[in-house]
Structure 1
Amino acid sequence: MKTALLHAPKVRAARAPLKEKAFPMDKRLFMHMARATIARVGGVDAACAAIEAEYGEPVSRGTISKIQNGHLDITFAQVVALQKATGDIAFANFLRRANEHCGAVPAVTHVHTLKEATEAVMAQAEAEQSGDADSQLRAVKETLEAVDIMRDWLAGKAASLKTGTTA
């Protein structure tokens, strides 16, 4: 028994480091936000009713109580149902602000640009080989989609450079 207790700290230290989260969020903050949202909807019973009304499946009082006390994490579906019931979008605003800082949007933007540009090039090659009107129209449509994506990116980048923010 004593040897197990002596080696326990070493076992904990040997664990792999936690993965970096997409956005930093303290568990206590998340619990307080969930607790406040449950209180705004009218308490545990009202939260159960709101979630059941939204998704058609009952939620037990115990589940909501555990969420309220921080013993269970609130699910995204429950957040959405409670936000709709209260009109309070604190969770959505927090996630939006957190995503502005984590760099996820530029990565998604350049991947989307690459996808659209690749589709445009493939459609152009097909149009050059076949020469029929349908493939020509598809090539024009795909090229316009790629140009629109790039134009939107340029407009956003120009606006962020003018205001001094990073986007």
Structure 2
Amino acid sequence: MRKPRSRTRKRVRVDDGVIGMTGLGTKLAAGIGLVAIAMAQPALADAGCWNSEQAAAARVRDLQSRLMVATLRCKAFGIDVLAPYNSFVTVNRETLQAANGVLKAQFAAGFGSEGESAYDRFTTSLANQYGADATTDQICAETADAALEAAEAGGDVTRLLAIAERLGAAPELPGGACPIRFSAAR
């Protein structure tokens, strides 16, 4: 008779954006992420347009999500890049909190009493879109390098946005960017 294989639960703990982990079930997380993305997008369409400050806040939040999820994937792959990521969060804490404040205000304005839930769906969808990305030694090294570079930004939003731009496309903004209009000179 075959002995059943034991399965151990793996735990992830995130406090204030700083990660402490004992493992990660990546397939389950990726599956849950795909379902959450599919459910979140239609509900977020009513957020209204985003001005440049709000779009920048979303970009900074996306950078944090991208680095956090890549760090978790690397850890699950057996490569520890927690120190660079945690340094990024610690050094940029005020900027990250300010960006989240701008996002929460945007969702509160667009969704009223449902703003916090809309914000949560949006930030979850940002993180989930990176859950199924490839994980290789090179990607983990690039994640560590990007996190260290972001830590060196020391809260400078322009530098963080440049790093985010280099890493990939801007997140989709529910309601899109506000149109730019020029008035005729007189």
What TM-score does the superposition give when structure 1 sets the normalisation length?
0.27
**More relative contact order in 1 or in 2 (CA 8 Å, sep 6+)?**
2
Structure holding more strand per residue? 2
Which structure has the greater CA radius of gyration? 1
TM-score normalised to structure 2 length: 0.25
Structure with the largest fraction of helix? 1
